[in-house]
Amino acid sequence: MKSNLLSKKVENKLNELIGQELHAMYTYVAAANWCQENGYLRAYDFFLGESADEKLHSEVLQKYMLDMGSCPELDDIDTPEADYECLNCVIEAALEMETALGKMYSKFASDLVAEDFMTLTKIQEFIKIQTEAIGFYGDVCAAGEGLSKDKFQQLMLEKILVKN
């Protein structure tokens, strides 16, 4: 058995972040399902991809903990919001969620500066990911600003969300 290189405080925070990544995964599945049900088929695929990314993020954190001699503790995941008024509302919710997660990573990184440089280095990877997600969703929200909930206008927003 490896010796544990993580403090209990760091373990607890990593477990919390793993839970948040899994909640984000679950939230994106719910968003994808809403999109499918409401005829945003390209957004459905997009949000399923986002869900897969969040699952991968949780796995990276879990592997890091295991490599450091600690076993992750997986908590229950709350049921995410799944009732949206329009596609723009889904995108705004994604921006809010990614921003909150980014703030959690940032706060954790500042706490780690004097305590655990190895973990800080790992968390900086996630800060970069969050910064990019916040920028992307912020841009899409800005593009959708002023659009009505009219299906045609929301389908135009879907084209911006899914650039392919």
The answer to whether residue 69 sits within a structural domain is: yes
To which residue do tokens 């760091």 refer? 10
pLDDT per residue of the chain (164 residues) written in tens, 0 to 9: 678 999 999 999 999 999 999 999 999 999 999 999 999 999 999 999 999 999 999 999 999 999 999 999 998 999 998 899 999 999 999 999 999 999 999 999 999 988 899 999 999 999 999 999 999 999 999 999 999 999 999 999 999 999 85
The answer to whether residue 45 sits within a structural domain is: yes
Give pLDDT, residue 73: 96
Contact in structure between 17 and 119 (CB atoms under 8 Å): no
Written as six digits, the tokens of 62 are 């879990």
Using the Cα atoms of residue 103, residue 133, residue 159 and residue 55 in order, give the sign of their dihedral. Answer: negative
Written as six digits, the tokens of 133 are 């997600």
Give pLDDT, residue 1: 62
Instruction: For residue 74, give the amino acid letter.
Output: L
CATH code where residue 52 lies: 1.20.1260.10
Written as six digits, the tokens of 59 are 């796995």
**Residue 7 to residue 118: CA distance in whole angstroms:** 12
Give pLDDT, residue 114: 87
Give pLDDT, residue 164: 56
What residues make up the domain containing 81?
A: 8-161
**Residue 16 to residue 155: CA distance in whole angstroms:** 36
Give pLDDT, residue 39: 96
Which residues, other chains included, contact 72 with Cβ-Cβ below 8 Å and sequence gap of 6+?
14, 15, 18, 61, 62, 65, 66
The answer to whether residue 3 sits within a structural domain is: no
Residue 86: which of 141, 24, 164 has the closest Cα? Answer: 141
Q: How many domains does the chain have?
A: 1
The answer to whether residue 102 sits within a structural domain is: yes
The answer to whether residue 1 sits within a structural domain is: no
C-beta neighbour count of 115 within 10 angstroms: 11
